[in-house]
Amino acid sequence: MPAPQNTFKAALKRGDMQYGCWAGFADPYATEILATANFDWLVIDGEHAPNDLRTIMHQLQILDGKHSEGVVRLPIGNDWLIKQALDVGAQTLLIPMVETAEQARDLVRACRYPPEGIRGSGAALARASRFSDIPDYIQTANDQICLLVQVETRKGVENLDAILDVDGVDGVFIGPSDLAADLGYPGQSGHEAVRNVIKDGIAAIAASDKAAGILAVDHGVAAEYRDWGAQFLAVGIDVVMLAKAARDTMAQWKG
């Protein structure tokens, strides 16, 4: 029995649109609620949400067998964080602040067992192998790992073509908020100068062998990103949804 098939990775390879949502409550109960909406992917955010390895694992457990792929975003891309996330069962990783092809190559190696990479061989006691219940996990795991890197700085955009040449990177996500800030327009991802960089970036990614991804909570902007070539498209943030719904509800009564 091989490593579980990564249906999200397979969908990206087919060119299928994949709609996602940020899961920022760092709680399996909230992530389970999101999974009832049938999003194709849910970002278990370890960068900007109060997640730790156990809360990440609990959310992956709750998503087992559900349609939504748990996409684990780490706070930064380094090999020991990647090793731990993969061993608790993550099969799709989103790594922020990738700026060079060398960085991307290092991330690919961190995601793969030798000889392709440097991932430590601790599968015997890892949830990823279902505690050795998948006897050939080590031999089959590499192919089911989906590595998504975030390009979200001026330097990353300058190196985008080189990053797109890195084998083993499955998708490139453009981070509109961080990119806007680094371009000198903090909080203004809708500024024309930022939109132009995003549009060109999505086009370059879509023209490569990798999938283009991005996030927009405004549906009009999200539809535009899709028209520009975004394939894995996050269209909501759970924390933002709840905060807005709560305030709108109260505004109905307090005015």
CA distances in angstroms from 214 to 75, 135, 223, listed in the order given: 17, 36, 11
Nearer to ligand LXDSK4UY, 48 or 191 (CB): 48
Distance, CA of 75 to CA of 56 (rounded, Å): 12
Cβ distance 39 to 63 under 8 Å?
no
Is residue 219 flagged as an active site residue?
A: no
Cβ distance 122 to 109 under 8 Å?
no
Distance, CA of 155 to CA of 65 (rounded, Å): 39
Kindly state the helix (H) or strand (E) to which residue 178 belongs, with its residue range: helix 176-182
Nearer to ligand LXDSK4UY, 76 or 250 (CB): 76
Q: How far is the CB of 48 from ligand LXDSK4UY (least distance, A)?
A: 4
**Nearest C-alpha neighbor of 94 from the set 47, 129, 158:** 47
Considering the candidates 48, 58, 191, 219, report the single residue annotated as catalytic: 48
Q: Which residue is nearest to ligand LXDSK4UY (CB)?
A: 175
Distance, CA of 223 to CA of 228 (rounded, Å): 9
Cβ distance 90 to 60 under 8 Å?
yes
State which amino acid sits at residue 22.
W
Q: How far is the CB of 52 from ligand LXDSK4UY (least distance, A)?
A: 17
Q: How far is the CB of 110 from ligand LXDSK4UY (least distance, A)?
A: 20
Nearer to ligand LXDSK4UY, 127 or 191 (CB): 191
Nearer to ligand LXDSK4UY, 142 or 185 (CB): 185
Residues that bind ligand LXDSK4UY (CB under 6 A): 48, 150, 152, 175-178, 215, 237
Residues with a known catalytic role: 48
